[in-house]
């Protein structure tokens, strides 16, 4: 009997212990829940305002320098070179004489042509008066007109050839090469010299297709040359090809003033572009995007709570993305602490 009472007392004691343990665990869970609620109500985050800004990005392209104006000077008439006024490496102003081709034969032919023209002119005047008095035929008058026109054409042609006997620079520049000497006989079409204008140079670069849509005529570029390391040059984009080349790149040209002619044709150049968007864009930092940029969303902050919102991104500019849909300027978005957030939770902004 005593033994049975002892077992009963032990059992009751164990049950009482279990009850106390369960009660204690329940109280701890309630305390943890209250603490979790308190923590959830004060999730620390950092936030920024969505702003409208000009987006820009620097990028580079390489190429080579060349004269903005370059021309081969060729003979327009045949004859002997009687004088050379400019040699390779010398500067020539626009219109300056480079060389002289013998014009003695031309001058003789020109004198004859002038005399012939005057004769045909007088014949035409005489026959015109006779025709008015019915003293000649229409046929004779027409022959006189044709002869006068032919004589005038011959005179004009010889005057033009005489002008070409004096070979002049079409623009100011430097003779890069000369190919004839005094006394040499040249034919029409013979290459006489090369003239380059280096006061303005162009840098021809290759622009990848991923960049060409951001490049426009008039954009500025900073150009450096491997051979002129102590100086940067400012240039302006003057040309962008409409069609890609064999490598899928688009040719572009940059014009640079080169008054001291320190930049020479063939120099290797690196151009840095700062392409700016047309107008302004809504922009957010990459760190504000929750998830991937393929399915982006942000947490929008309002009245100390956040709500998840899907957005549509535009182009990326470094660590910034333009936003085309889903946000408005002035709204605040979470930029740090998104990992602990759910829709509707309260937050505490630290910045």
Query: Does the structure show a pLDDT above 60 at 37?
Result: no
Q: 215-255 pLDDT, tens per residue?
A: 889 999 999 999 998 899 999 999 999 999 888 899 999 99
Give CA separation, 97 vs 76, 168, 171, in Å: 15, 4, 11
pLDDT bin (cut points 50, 70, 90) of residue 3 is very low
Strands 166-168 and 43-49, bridge-based pairing: unpaired
Sign of the dihedral defined by the CA atoms of residues 28, 29, 34, 38, in that order: positive
pTM (2 decimals)? 0.57
Residues 26, 309: Cα–Cα separation, whole Å: 38
- The domains located in the chain, with CATH, are 43-55+280-349 (2.40.420.20), 59-66+197-276 (2.40.30.170), 75-191 (1.10.287.470)
Query: Does the structure show a pLDDT above 60 at 96?
Result: yes
The rounded percent of the chain whose pLDDT value lies above 90 is 68
Q: 154-197 pLDDT, tens per residue?
A: 999 999 999 999 999 999 999 988 899 999 999 999 999 999 99
Q: What is the mean pLDDT of residues 308-325?
A: 87
CA nearest neighbour of 312 among 302, 322, 303? 322
**End-to-end alpha carbon distance in the chain:** 75
Q: Given this model, what pLDDT does residue 35 score?
A: 47
Q: Given this model, what pLDDT does residue 277 score?
A: 53
CA nearest neighbour of 82 among 100, 106, 64? 100
Calculate Rg over the CA atoms of the chain.
44
CA nearest neighbour of 187 among 48, 105, 79? 79
Query: Does the structure show a pLDDT above 50 at 2?
Result: no
Containing 120, the helix (H) or strand (E) segment is: helix 104-132
Q: What is the mean pLDDT of residues 33-62?
A: 75
């Amino acid at each position: 009997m005593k033994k049975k009472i002892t077992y009963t007392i032990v059992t009751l004691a164990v049950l009482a212990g279990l009850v106390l343990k369960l009660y204690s665990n329940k109280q701890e869970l309630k305390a943890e829940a209250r603490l979790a609620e308190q923590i959830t109500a004060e999730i620390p985050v950092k936030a920024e305002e969505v702003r409208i800004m000009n987006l820009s990005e620097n990028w580079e392209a390489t190429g080579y320098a060349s004269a903005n104006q370059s021309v081969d000077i060729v003979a327009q008439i045949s004859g002997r070179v009687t004088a050379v006024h400019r040699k390779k490496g010398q500067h020539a102003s626009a219109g300056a004489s480079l060389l002289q081709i013998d014009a003695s034969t031309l001058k003789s032919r020109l004198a004859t042509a002038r005399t012939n023209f005057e004769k045909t002119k007088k014949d035409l005047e005489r026959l015109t008066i006779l025709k008015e008095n019915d003293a000649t035929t229409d046929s004779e008058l027409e022959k006189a007109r044709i002869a006068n026109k032919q004589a005038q054409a011959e005179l004009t042609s010889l005057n033009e050839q005489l002008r070409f006997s004096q070979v002049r620079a079409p623009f100011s520049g430097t003779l890069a090469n000369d190919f004839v000497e005094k006394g040499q006989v040249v034919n029409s079409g013979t290459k006489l010299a090369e003239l380059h204008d280096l006061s303005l140079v162009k840098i021809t670069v290759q622009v990848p297709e991923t960049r060409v849509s951001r490049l426009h005529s008039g954009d500025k570029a900073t150009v450096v040359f491997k051979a002129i390391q102590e100086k940067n040059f400012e240039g302006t984009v003057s040309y962008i090809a409409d069609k890609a080349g064999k490598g899928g790149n688009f040719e572009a040209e940059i014009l640079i003033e080169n008054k001291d002619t320190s930049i020479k044709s063939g120099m290797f150049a690196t151009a840095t572009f700062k392409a700016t968007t047309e107008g302004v864009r809504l922009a957010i930092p990459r760190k504000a995007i929750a998830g991937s940029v393929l399915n982006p969303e942000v947490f929008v902050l309002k009245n100390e709570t956040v709500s998840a919102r899907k957005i549509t991104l535009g182009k990326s500019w470094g660590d910034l993305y333009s936003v085309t849909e889903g946000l408005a300027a002035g709204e605040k978005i979470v930029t740090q602490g998104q990992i602990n957030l759910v829709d509707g939770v309260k937050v505490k902004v630290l910045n």
